[in-house]
């Protein structure tokens, strides 16, 4: 489409965000506006900050712990009166010590970043380009980008008071939009919801001198008043979204120096193939704040997904793709990964999945390039999973973990605790199970659940026995408390739950998980495998100090392998006809040896095949 004779739009992504990844929002909005005929320039400024403070420190600060250090270092530039430094250091000393150990720096180094280098970087950003040549400056904002965005917007507005500024992004909710517009004169508009259709219309109206009132998703000032457009409606046809444009990011990756940093991670290109959550439509997980009104699931067609993969690979010579989707479309197992497997393609792809995938689907996806999953396991207690409304069971989670471990798929999951209605037995049982599955990949973290903004626990706390929702303390150090209501700017909350288990009830499972992680990271990683002949199998158990061996032959070998996928007793008895006494005896003996588990009424063998082609 011919570019209209209007000034270009500037789209900006500020620190603090890891330089490893391109910004998907910039990548999508640039071609979206260009399709509508507007010139666009993007600025991945977050990809330059590490050149000033050092990349190791930058990437450590870019993590998102409770202390939100990546926000705090910018807060004094967003709001001059927000300088309660000593109390912040006292409150979050332990977390900051951990951050500094990870970054191999001192607390004084971090304080120098806050007191000096953030200001230096903002000055550089202000002089980066002639901002007055733009007709609109838009900031895309995620969890640790609010303060830096407000800080740069403030400086731009001081130099160019008539230049319109808009904020949008995943953290922008209606309450936050109202607080920003009521207290941040450097911001003219805030967008809430999906911007694919609204932003081009907003720019058209802005450049045409038309009123913005009534535009869904847009909050802003007009005259002396503030108008509210609610939340933008969902984009229905996902095939309409463009292939992301990351040209500017890869220039920034080189110019900013991250590409030459010795600890730089290989680039994974963000992709978006769906929005919403097909499980959340049925039963929204109690703690999940994602999606809200956008929870209805919509996905790209499989042919369009494959076309996008090819376009990105050709343009950037990179086969690493990281899907930001909340959950995989089940049709992609064959429609996307099946095609890639048949083509013997060499993509490395990351996706969020549910535990409803079976062994054959996992194998098929691995053959098609699946290298990492964000699986949302969250617990190995079916009772706790029901409290979460996860719609999965401990047995399903364990089977997913078993087969992702076997296929060498990195399984990023955590264990959550702290739900209304849980019992000490829920955690004793999990500790017993963890003692048997040390040969499977451990969780990367174990944390107490919190009701994020927009989650069912946030929207209707009384239904979950929550007597009070407390915004995380960190927000008082970011947003001046005399100007902003913490419950309106906070995304993370701590609940007070009637009848909740005391914190010490989780001590054992925290310890057990930590030991599991340590054993997995050791030189002698625990193992439990089996090798087979035509009629027998040999099991090698290296989960403890001594390696134990068991040989099973004939029907016992066949039964053990048949329980590689979980089976009920009835299913086993129907498969192995004849006198059934030996079946129960063998199953009990296998449980006693820790070679099997019995979960949710089903038997599951724990040993992984040594044969690398199993299931392919």
In a domain, 616, yes or no: no
Q: How do residues 399-428 score in pLDDT, each as one tens digit?
A: 999 999 999 999 999 999 999 899 999 999
Owner of token pair 């009701």: 451
Q: Are 546 and 506 within one domain?
A: no
Give 576 or 613, the one with higher predicted confidence. Answer: 576
More confident residue, 612 or 517: 517
Confidence (pLDDT) at 498: 86
Predicted local distance difference test score (pLDDT) of residue 225: 84
| Final residue before a domain boundary, out of 228, 245, 279 | 228
**pLDDT digits over 217-273, tens only?**
999 988 778 899 988 989 999 999 999 999 999 999 999 999 999 999 999 999 999
pLDDT tens-place string over residues 294-303: 688 999 999 9
**Per-residue model confidence (pLDDT) at position 371:** 98
- Do residues 312 and 389 both lie within one domain? yes
Note the pLDDT of residue 579: 66
Q: What is the pLDDT of residue 290?
A: 72
**Same-domain status, 356 and 208:** no
When divided into structural domains, the chain yields a total of 3
Note whether 271 and 244 are within 8 A (CB). yes
The pLDDT of 275-279, averaged and rounded, is 90
Does 34 share its domain with 102?
A: yes
In which band, very low, low, confident or very high, does the pLDDT at 39 lie, cut at 50, 70 and 90? very high
Q: How far apart are CA 214 and CA 319, in angstroms?
A: 43
In the prediction, which pLDDT does 294 show? 67
pLDDT at 578 exceeding the cut of 80: no
In percent, how much of the chain has pLDDT > 70? 98
- Arithmetic mean of pLDDT, 319-330: 97
Asked whether residue 181 is domain-assigned, the answer is: yes
Asked if 505 and 604 sit in the same domain, the reply is no
pLDDT at 259: 96
Q: Which tokens sit at 438?
A: 């040390």
Peptide bond into 35 cis (omega under 30): no
Q: Which residues form the domain of 553?
A: 528-609
Task: Please tell me the distance from the alpha carbon of residue 342 to that of residue 319, in angstroms, as a whole number.
Answer: 17
Alpha helices in 390-446 (DSSP H): 394-406, 424-434
Domain-located, residue 404: yes
Same domain, residue pair 202 and 315: no
pLDDT in tens, 379-398: 999 999 999 999 999 999 99
pLDDT over 60 at 363, yes or no: yes
pLDDT over 60 (residue 293):
no
Q: Are 270 and 324 in contact (CB under 8 A)?
A: yes
Same domain, yes or no, for 74 and 166? yes
Residue 152: pLDDT band by 50, 70, 90 thresholds? very high
**Predicted confidence (pLDDT) per residue in 520-540, tens digit:** 999 999 999 999 999 999 999
614 confidence band (pLDDT: 50, 70, 90):
confident
My answer on whether 283 and 214 are in the same domain is: no
Query: In which band, very low, low, confident or very high, does the pLDDT at 584 lie, cut at 50, 70 and 90?
Result: very high
Which residues, in sequence order, are CB contacts of 369 under 8 Å at separation 6+?
A: 319, 337, 340, 341, 345, 346, 347, 348, 349
Is the pLDDT confidence value at 499 over 90? no
pLDDT at 449: 87
Query: How far lies 376's CA from each of 207, 256, 351, 402, 561, in Å?
Result: 44, 34, 11, 15, 27
- CA 422 – CA 504 distance, rounded (Å): 14
Q: What confidence score (pLDDT) does residue 291 get?
A: 59
pLDDT at 12 over 90: yes
Q: Name 204's Cβ contacts closer than 8 Å, sequence gap at least 6.
A: 36, 210
114-134 pLDDT, tens digit per residue, is: 999 999 999 999 999 999 999
What is the 8-class DSSP label of residue 461?
G
Question: Domain ends where: 228, 255, 280?
Answer: 228
Judgement on whether residues 316 and 219 belong to the same structural domain of the protein? no
Global pTM?
0.94
Is 615 part of any domain?
Answer: no
Residues 6+ apart with CB under 8 A from 236: 298
Residue 75 CA to residue 61 CA, distance in Å, equals 14
Does residue 389 share a domain with residue 335? yes
CA gap 230, 474 in Å, rounded:
27
- The alpha-helical segments, DSSP class H, found in 548-609 are 554-562, 569-575, 581-593
CA-atom Rg of the chain in angstroms: 26
Average confidence score pLDDT of the chain: 94
End position of a domain, from candidates 493, 521, 549 = 521
The DSSP secondary-structure symbol of 309 reads H
Structural domain includes residue 262: no
Tell me, yes or no, whether 101 and 138 share the same domain.
yes
Is residue 327 included in any domain, yes or no? yes
> Are 147 and 71 spatial neighbours (Cβ–Cβ below 8 Å)?
yes
Q: Which CATH number does the domain housing residue 582 bear?
A: 1.10.10
Q: Is 365 helix (H, G, I), strand (E, B) or coil?
A: helix
Sign of the torsion formed by the C-alpha atoms of 85, 86, 91 and 94: positive
> Residue 277: which CATH number?
3.80.30.20
The answer to the question of residue 153 being in a domain is: yes
Q: Are residues 278 and 321 in the same domain?
A: yes
CATH code: domain of residue 134: 3.40.50.2300
Residue 257 lies in a domain: no
Token pair for 326: 């909340």
């Amino acid at each position: 489409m011919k570019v209209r004779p209007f000034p270009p739009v500037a789209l900006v992504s500020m620190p603090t965000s890891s330089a490893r990844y391109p910004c998907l929002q910039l990548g999508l909005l640039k071609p979206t506006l260009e399709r509508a005929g507007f010139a666009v320039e993007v600025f991945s400024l977050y990809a330059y900050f590490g050149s000033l403070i050092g990349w190791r420190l930058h990437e450590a600060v870019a993590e998102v712990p409770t202390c939100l250090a990546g926000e705090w270092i910018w807060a004094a530039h967003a709001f001059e009166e927000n300088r309660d430094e000593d109390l912040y250091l006292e409150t979050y000393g332990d977390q900051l010590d951990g951050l500094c150990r990870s970054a191999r720096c001192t607390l004084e180094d971090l304080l120098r970043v806050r007191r000096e280098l953030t200001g230096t970087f903002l000055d550089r950003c202000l002089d980066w380009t002639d901002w007055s040549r733009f007709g609109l400056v838009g900031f895309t904002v995620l969890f640790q980008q609010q303060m830096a965005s407000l800080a740069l917007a403030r400086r731009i507005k001081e130099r160019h008071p008539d230049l319109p500024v808009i904020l949008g992004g995943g953290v922008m909710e209606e309450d936050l939009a109202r607080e920003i517009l009521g207290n941040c004169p450097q911001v003219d508009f805030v967008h809430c919801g999906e911007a694919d259709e609204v932003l081009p219309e907003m720019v058209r109206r802005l450049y045409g001198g038309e009123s913005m009132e009534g535009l869904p998703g847009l909050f802003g000032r007009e005259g002396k008043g503030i108008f509210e457009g609610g939340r933008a409606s969902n984009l229905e046809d996902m095939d309409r979204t463009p292939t992301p444009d990351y040209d500017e990011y890869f220039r920034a990756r080189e110019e900013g120096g991250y590409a030459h940093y010795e600890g730089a991670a290989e680039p994974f290109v963000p992709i978006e193939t769906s929005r919403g959550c097909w499980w959340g439509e049925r039963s929204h997980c109690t703690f999940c704040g994602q999606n809200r009104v956008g929870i209805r699931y919509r996905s790209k067609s499989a042919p369009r997904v494959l076309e996008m993969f090819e376009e990105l690979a050709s343009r950037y010579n990179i086969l690493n793709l990281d899907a930001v989707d909340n959950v995989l479309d089940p049709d992609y197992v064959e429609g996307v990964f099946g095609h890639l497997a048949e083509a013997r393609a060499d993509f490395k792809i990351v996706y969020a999945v549910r535990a409803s995938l079976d062994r054959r689907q996992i194998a098929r996806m691995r053959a098609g390039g699946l290298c990492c999953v964000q699986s949302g396991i969250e617990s190995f207690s079916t009772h706790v999973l029901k409290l979460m409304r996860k719609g999965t069971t401990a047995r399903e989670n364990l089977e997913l973990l078993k087969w992702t471990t076997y296929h060498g798929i990195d399984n990023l999951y955590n264990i959550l605790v702290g739900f209304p209605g849980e019992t000490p037995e829920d955690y004793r049982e999990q500790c017993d199970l963890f003692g048997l599955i040390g040969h499977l990949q451990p969780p990367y973290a174990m944390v107490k659940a919190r009701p994020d903004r927009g989650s069912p626990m946030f929207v209707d706390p009384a239904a979950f026995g929550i007597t009070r929702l407390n915004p995380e303390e960190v927000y008082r150090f970011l947003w001046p408390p005399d100007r902003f209501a913490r419950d309106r700017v906070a995304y993370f909350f701590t609940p007070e739950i009637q009848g909740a288990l005391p914190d010490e009830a989780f001590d054992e499972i925290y310890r057990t998980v930590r030991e599991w992680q340590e054993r997995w990271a050791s030189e002698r990683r625990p193992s439990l495998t089996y090798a087979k002949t035509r009629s027998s199998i040999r099991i090698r158990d290296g989960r403890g100090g001594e390696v134990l061996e068991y040989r099973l032959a004939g029907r016992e070998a066949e039964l053990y392998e048949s329980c590689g996928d979980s089976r009920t007793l009835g299913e086993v008895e129907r498969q192995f006809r004849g006198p059934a006494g030996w079946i129960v005896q063998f199953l009990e003996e296998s449980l006693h040896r820790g070679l099997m588990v019995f979960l949710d009424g089903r038997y599951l063998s724990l040993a992984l095949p040594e044969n690398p082609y199993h299931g392919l």
